[in-house]
């Protein structure tokens, strides 16, 4: 069972074991380093944001973080330092990431994987914290390393395309990303971040999953999670507008921070 009788009445743990706490502290320290890197001259080499009619503070809502696939390479506007930092924050501790962590930790606790954590509340907390360390480390690597050559980590939404074209776009931007030339290239920073993070995390994971085989599995899951996130970005805004009975707005998709 997910929770035994004792676990059901047990209070949420006041503290997590020292090993996990140290790992979480180290990973969030890396987040701080990324913030400085993103404000460095390297990250600031990208051009300024291009204002649009929807680029006023009182108009920034759900559509503010949606970006349209550029019609041509010259129509692409590179991500700015502020945009890169915003992507890092949203991808690490945004609602979508935090909710995904609940599902991930819940499944791991229900299946007791890894078994060292157990099937109780403190095991759930340890799994949740361990996932967060991986997400923060991977995003830190992708954001900072990608800034060196202008790799854009954002997802770009299609406009007025068929389902097949939209699905193709979801898959393509899982493994490729835009560069300052307006073309899509293999997302080298993402590959380094995904594999590097998962192999690096072997140094603080429990013994049963601290090997290269599990690191490869986690890396594959990382790309799978990226594809799911892309699909969410591609299809959910349209559903959101339909639920709110609002017409699609191409201009709302043109914002490039």
Beta strand 156-157 pairing with 67-68: parallel
Euclidean distance between the first and the last CA atom of the chain, given in angstroms as a whole number: 46
CA 50/CA 153 separation, integer angstroms: 18
pLDDT score recorded for residue 65:
54
What angle do helix axes 81-93 and 95-110 make, rounded to 10 degrees?
30
Q: Count other Cβ atoms within 10 Å, centred on residue 72.
A: 7
Q: Which residues of 1-21 are buried (b: 16+ CB within 10 A; e: fewer)?
A: eeeeeebeeeeeeeebeeebe
pLDDT score recorded for residue 130:
94
pLDDT score recorded for residue 178:
97
Question: Which positions of the chain have pLDDT values less than 70?
Answer: 1-65, 245-257
> What's the token pair of residue 244?
């709110």
Closest residue by Cα to residue 214 from 74, 73, 116 = 116
Q: Which residues of 165-191 are buried (b: 16+ CB within 10 A; e: fewer)?
A: ebbebbeebbebbbbbeeebeebebbe
Helices (H), the chain: 5-9, 18-38, 81-93, 95-110, 121-149, 163-175, 188-200, 212-243
> What's the token pair of residue 223?
């790309």
pLDDT score recorded for residue 243:
77
Closest residue by Cα to residue 177 from 187, 167, 192 = 187
Strand partners, 176: 186
* Residues in the chain, total: 257
Give CB contacts under 8 A, 24+ apart, made by 28-34. 28/136, 30/136, 30/137, 30/140, 31/88, 31/92, 31/136, 31/140, 33/140, 33/144, 34/88, 34/139, 34/140, 34/143, 34/144
> Taking a C-beta distance cutoff of 8 angstroms, is the pair 3, 119 a contact?
yes
CA 111/CA 227 separation, integer angstroms: 24
3-state SS record for 117-159? HCCCHHHHHHHHHHHHHHHHHHHHHHHHHHHHHCCECCCEECC
pTM > 0.75: yes or no = no
């Amino acid at each position: 069972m997910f929770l035994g009788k004792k676990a059901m009445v047990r209070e949420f743990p006041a503290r997590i074991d020292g090993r996990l706490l140290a790992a979480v502290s180290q990973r969030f320290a890396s987040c701080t380093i990324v913030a400085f890197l993103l404000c460095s001259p390297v990250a600031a080499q990208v051009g300024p944001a291009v204002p649009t009619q929807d680029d006023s503070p009182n108009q920034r809502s759900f559509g503010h973080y949606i970006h349209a696939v550029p019609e041509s390479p010259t129509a692409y506007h590179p991500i700015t330092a502020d945009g890169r930092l915003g992507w890092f924050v949203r991808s690490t501790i945004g609602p979508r990431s935090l909710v995904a962590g609940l599902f991930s930790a819940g499944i791991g606790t229900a299946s007791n994987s890894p078994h060292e954590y157990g099937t109780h509340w403190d095991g759930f907390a340890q799994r949740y914290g361990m996932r967060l360390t991986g997400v923060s480390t991977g995003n830190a690597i992708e954001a900072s390393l990608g800034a060196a050559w202008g790799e854009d980590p954002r997802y770009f939404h299609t406009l007025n395309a068929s389902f097949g074209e939209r699905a193709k776009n979801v898959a393509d931007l899982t493994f490729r990303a835009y560069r300052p030339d307006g073309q899509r290239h293999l997302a080298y920073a993402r590959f380094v971040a995904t594999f590097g993070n998962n192999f690096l995390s072997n140094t603080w994971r429990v013994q049963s999953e601290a090997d290269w085989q599990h690191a490869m599995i986690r890396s594959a899951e990382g790309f799978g999670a990226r594809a799911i996130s892309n699909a969410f970005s591609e299809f959910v805004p349209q559903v959101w507008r339909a639920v709110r009975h609002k017409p699609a707005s191409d201009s709302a998709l043109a914002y490039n921070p």
